[in-house]
Amino acid sequence: MLLESLRNQVLAANQEIARRGLAPHTFGNASGVDRSGNRPLVVIKPSGVDYATLKPEDLVITDLDGKVVEGRLRPSSDLDTHTLLYREFPQIGGVVHTHSEFATSWAQAGRQIPCFGTTHADYFHGAVPVTEPLTAEEVSSGYVRNTGAVIVRRFRAEGLDPVAVPGVLVAGHAPFAWGKDAADAVEHADVLEYIARLAFRTVTLNGLAGPIPSHVSEHHYLRKHGPKATYGQR
């Protein structure tokens, strides 16, 4: 079986987003990419298959253009978004798409999530961005591919580093998150949902709340991710 180890990692990631309540029903998917060969290959969940019944051999392998290399089932309907993100963000090795409740609420509101506190700053270097809505032409000419395109466009326009900002809200849709591998992407998707829930409660309690001072958010981000990080063990 091609890419057996990566299949198992991606299977575990898909089951984990369901276990954590990030993807009710089959509203979500996880993928991973293998860049070790001459042709990078993506392993992704098949479309509409229940997480509980998913097996490694059910996962679909494609190239970065979305051409199926191995698999008897149809790949996730979000495949073109995943492959575009892998092409445009070569630093990432896993992508997760969910419809988690609070992050999706911010996406539907078309609002970025400000850095209201240090929990946010520990994981995201700045606000969680939200894309522009897709135009009618973008929807009709390639909705899934253009979902990836509006994500990339937002990151390019603001000079955002996808490693430092490991997730995004697609306006009117839902969140995508990513990481060094599929498991890391799941962690970022889970953290994004937690941040979104805290932010919702923050603005509910205080509609005038603003971001914490930048010297505080920078300190918290850099102590975990900076060149002189002190968080955790050596």
1-56, pLDDT tens digit by residue? 799 999 999 999 999 999 999 998 888 999 999 999 899 999 999 999 988 899 99
Q: What is the pLDDT of residue 25?
A: 87
Residue 234 pLDDT > 90, yes or no?
A: no
User: Which pTM value belongs to this model?
Assistant: 0.94
Residue 31 in contact with residue 10, Cβ under 8 Å?
yes
User: Average pLDDT of 92-101?
Assistant: 98
What are the tens digits of pLDDT across the range 109-133? 999 999 999 999 999 999 999 999 9
Annotated catalytic residue 231: yes
- Is pLDDT at 209 greater than 90 in this prediction? yes
* Domain parsing of the chain, residue ranges: 4-225
Selected catalytic residue, list 63, 65, 143, 231: 231
Q: Give the per-residue pLDDT at 229.
A: 66
Angle, helices 101-109 vs 182-205, to 10°: value is: 70
| Separation of alpha carbons 152 and 88, rounded Å | 7
Measured CA distances, 92 to 1, 177, 179, 214 (Å): 24, 10, 5, 27
Of 34, 181, 176, give the one whose Cα is nearest residue 93. Answer: 181
| Cα distance between residue 202 and residue 149, in whole Å | 31
**Average pLDDT over the chain, rounded to an integer:** 95
Strands (E), the chain: 28-34, 41-44, 60-63, 68-70, 94-98, 167-169, 175-179
4-225 belongs to CATH 3.90.1310.10: no
The pLDDT, as a whole number, for residue 1 is 77
Distance (Å, whole) CA 60 – CA 49: 12
Confidence (pLDDT) at 26: 83
183: how many CB neighbours lie within 10 A of its CB?
18
Instruction: Choose the catalytic residue: 34, 58, 122, 181.
Output: 122
